Structure 1
Amino acid sequence: MSSIKLHFPALLRVVLALCIMTIWSTGTSHRAAAQNALRIAAIVNDDVITVRDLDARVRMVILSSNLPRNQQTYQRVWPQVLRGLIDEQLKLQEAERLSIEVTDDDLNRAKRSMEQRNKMQPGSFDRELEKEGIPLETVVRQIRADIAWAKLVRRRFQSTVEVTIDEIDDALDRLERNKGAPQYRLREIVIDTDDPAVDEQEIAKRLVQQLRSGAQFDAIAREFSQGATAATGGDIGWTTKEQLSPEVAELVDRMQPGDISDPIKTIFGYQIIQLSDRQILSGPDPLKSEVTLKQVFLPVPPNAGADAESSQKSIASAVSETAQSCEDMDVLASELNSPAGTDLGTLKIGELSPQLQEAVTGLNEGELTKPIRLPSGFSTIMVCKKVEPESDLPGRDEIAERLRAIKFETFAQRYLRDIRRDAFIDTRI
């Protein structure tokens, strides 16, 4: 499951923002405002979400997402925020039903992690929220729900989620096939409400407009996306075109890093795609391989005839067919009175001359070159040790963890949909 993250793009601006956001309507008395805050926004089974709860979360979403701070934004986002609060309540209820406990240590660890990500002083989480006017209870509630849900999903699906060797091999094969091809780092927002009364396309269009006006993509994805990547801010990770739906694959080549797509109708609902980065997928650079080399050198004098050169070449060929180890190279060099030392040292292939690079590249430990004609004679070289550079491709453990995370998120989404379907939910506004 993904880590918990809350964005505060400009905490120092929050005070000013709150002055604007707290006055949603005018001309009401303090008593009327208090009564309005206690109105019911939704009933979720036996629990109530008040207008005050909704208002606090909407303000937090607007601030953390860098959305325009006005009444129009409030009116546009509250339906989706309310849906998020309902899902949050369902998660907490299910966690309580299954006796999932969120400890003070869990909450404190989450707070410390958020302090680090937001460059806050250690131990200042509660104080900073209070100082900036962000309701502590709405943030802690969200943290508690995320932790409880993560524990619940892990417990419920731990024995179900399995990544097989074949799945890892298939992923590696796919990466190998795509060497040299573009790879895309994408984020997504998926709008798929399962509610025929909701105009999903219109919601997606409004979100695109807000995103292109400067709203933070990851914060919007966390609050509004119904995709399996919502908890990670919509981050799909690095992917190739063959892993994308045809509609998205056709689009990404025309996008530049930072671009945000129009809503795309796919089998998953309406998708909004952001291209974060593009790179070429590649394996390790062979010229960065580090090799330890030994040689047997056989000189050819400048005035030597063809017979002498042919003789030395034949001896060099015999060396390449006879030597089995680097110790053999030392013995043969001594027996043949080689005038040059056998040790060429340890260096990267890219540091060799072009002629030697061509001869050595591709050899494994214990393998020899054919005789190499140098200006002053013939050299036969053995690779005594070879250290390959790190590949740009992910390793098996990393691939397995990615596949496992995707499966957990998919199961979690299905689980929440089942809970939502069986719940009593009554929205009052």
Structure 2
Amino acid sequence: MSRLFFRLTGFLALAALTLGAVQPAPAQQTLRAAAVVNDQVISQFDVRMRMRLVMLSAGISPQQADRARLRDQVMRNLINEQLQLQAAERFGYSVSKQEVDQAVARVARNNNMSADRFLSILRQNNVSVATFRDQLRANLAWQKVIRNRLAREVSISDEDVDDAVQRYRSLQGERQYRVREIFLAVDDEQELPRVRQTAQRLMQQLRQGADFGALARQFSQSPTAADNGVLGWVTPESLPEAVAERVTQMQPGQLAGPVRGYSGLYIVNLMDTRVLSPGNATVDLRQLFTPVPDGAGADAVAAAKQRLNRLAEPAEGCSNFNALADDTDAARTSDLGEVKMSALPEDIRPKVADLPLQTPSEPLKVAGGYAVLMVCERSGGIDREQIRQNLQRERLNMLAQRYMRDLRRQANIEIQMGGERRNLEDTG
């Protein structure tokens, strides 16, 4: 479970964007409260730096940014993060400096650069490094709450899996849709106009070329945000009714939104479609490979396996798999894409079939050397373990959203932007 839920932490894909110089602000303005969350202050500096971080990661120029609406959504995210940190503290969960350092290093690797280079880019674009670290710290703390408190409330029985298998079999021959989403929660109807304005602005940014995955990571309130908003292959029955109606009318590459769902607004991007075909199982594979000449001695084989195990050990799923290779030619990663199970070598096929999702395999003998494989997604066949994991993830996601909504409703939140003092319920 820990491997799956740690992947919910968001990662940035930095855009090549210069935001311009920051005008120095008086100290009293910098430290002035923008919001108070259960006596914890969010400063105006915090809001300004997070806005710059969002624009940088999503590729939004200052000229394109609607600062008022961006500020409202950034404020909501900062309030949520403060509530998440407070919840973690109540349960006794803390995040160490070392954990944050490791998260920074993972983000840097995912962007194919060193941690020093990554942080240098933030500074060059006048984004406070502390702002980025604070976001990671809140994400890490929230995952500890999800993993250690909420996950224990999720139990998937064999009967649940049996029912899901029957539903899956009934869908053979139906069309599937590969979808990305940005989900914005609406806790009550008073919030709807403000959230709709935010969604409309995000749609405008996307039409102007902003990166969907980056906006999903920064704004989406669904756990899919960590995976660039990607839902994967779905059928209309698994989507909210209004979203399904729009998706089934779209062509690959198109955007739609905002679409009203049961608990919020959706922006969706249709990536591809296909027809689910029985007996045509496929896997989405990643490979970490190291060359070993044919006929190599036992010592060389043992060294290769040891190297692969060492490199694969920090894997947290497919989201950071490409960052596992070292800086030498000793090992390299590759995305093998969607591969038919029938096309795999006979000795590899059963190992891939039994491999849990998002989990590195043991080193396997392949042509030209040894490899660690990871299955990111399965389709076309029936995998009970994958179905069980999907059910667990769906139920945990619902619990996390419900708990976040309860935290906001129970909190004492006061907005103090622009010299105006407002309670949270007055901000709709």
TM range (shorter): 0.5 to 0.7
Larger radius of gyration: 1
* 2:208 partner letter: S
RMSD: 2.7
Structure 1 position 203, deviation (Å): 2.7
SS of the residue aligned with 2:256?
coil
2:122 to 129, 145, 159: 129
2:8 to 3, 27, 32: 3
User: In the TM superposition, what whole-angstrom CA distance separates every residue of 1:99-141 from its partner, at most 9, and x where no partner exists?
Assistant: 1021234223322321221111366444443344331101111
1:404 matched to 2:406? The reply is no
2:137 to 110, 131, 144: 144
d(CA) in 2 for partners of 1:94 and 1:108? Answer: 22
- 2:412 aligned residue: 424
d(CA) in 1 for partners of 2:261 and 2:116? Answer: 45
* 1:60 partner letter: L
* 2:136 partner letter: I
d(CA) in 2 for partners of 1:63 and 1:9? Answer: 6
* 2:265 partner letter: Y
Structure 1 position 179, deviation (Å): 1.8
- 1:310 aligned residue: none
2:246 to 246, 251, 259: 251
d(CA) in 1 for partners of 2:280 and 2:405? Answer: 46
Structure 1 position 228, deviation (Å): 5.0
- 1:172 aligned residue: 165
Contact residue 31 and residue 45 of structure 2 kept, 8 A: yes
d(CA) in 2 for partners of 1:81 and 1:176? Answer: 43
d(CA) in 1 for partners of 2:382 and 2:29? Answer: 54
* 2:179 partner letter: L
1:222 matched to 2:217? The reply is yes
In terms of mean alpha carbon deviation, does 36-45 or 182-191 score higher?
A: 182-191
User: In the TM superposition, what whole-angstrom CA distance separates every residue of 1:293-352 from its partner, at most 9, and x where no partner exists?
Assistant: xxxxxxxxxxxxxxxxxxxxxxxxxxxxxxxxxxxxxxxxxxxxxxxxxxxxxxxx99xx
Structure 1 position 17, deviation (Å): 2.1
Contact residue 223 and residue 397 of structure 2 kept, 8 A: yes
Contact residue 184 and residue 266 of structure 2 kept, 8 A: yes
TM-score after normalising by structure 2:
0.68
| Structure 2 unmatched runs, 5+ | 282-341, 344-377, 418-428
- 1:277 aligned residue: 272
- 1:61 aligned residue: 54
d(CA) in 2 for partners of 1:183 and 1:143? Answer: 34
1:202 matched to 2:197? The reply is yes
d(CA) in 2 for partners of 1:152 and 1:164? Answer: 23
In terms of mean alpha carbon deviation, does 51-60 or 114-123 score higher?
A: 114-123
- 1:320 aligned residue: none
1:77 matched to 2:70? The reply is yes
d(CA) in 2 for partners of 1:223 and 1:239? Answer: 23
Contact residue 216 and residue 228 of structure 2 kept, 8 A: yes
Structure 1 position 243, deviation (Å): 1.7
| Structure 1 unmatched runs, 5+ | 24-29, 287-348, 351-389
Contact residue 11 and residue 217 of structure 2 kept, 8 A: no
Contact residue 258 and residue 277 of structure 1 kept, 8 A: yes
Structure 1 position 168, deviation (Å): 1.9
1:317-356 alignment runs, 5 A limit: none
* 2:263 partner letter: F
Structure 1 position 391, deviation (Å): 6.4
Structure 1 position 394, deviation (Å): 5.3
d(CA) in 2 for partners of 1:40 and 1:71? Answer: 27
d(CA) in 2 for partners of 1:215 and 1:393? Answer: 36
Aligned CA distance change for structure 1 residues 420 and 223 (closer, same or farther; 3 Å): same
Contact residue 8 and residue 223 of structure 2 kept, 8 A: no
Structure 1 position 63, deviation (Å): 1.0
d(CA) in 1 for partners of 2:382 and 2:173? Answer: 15
1:186 matched to 2:179? The reply is yes
Q: Percent identity?
A: 37
- 1:17 aligned residue: 19
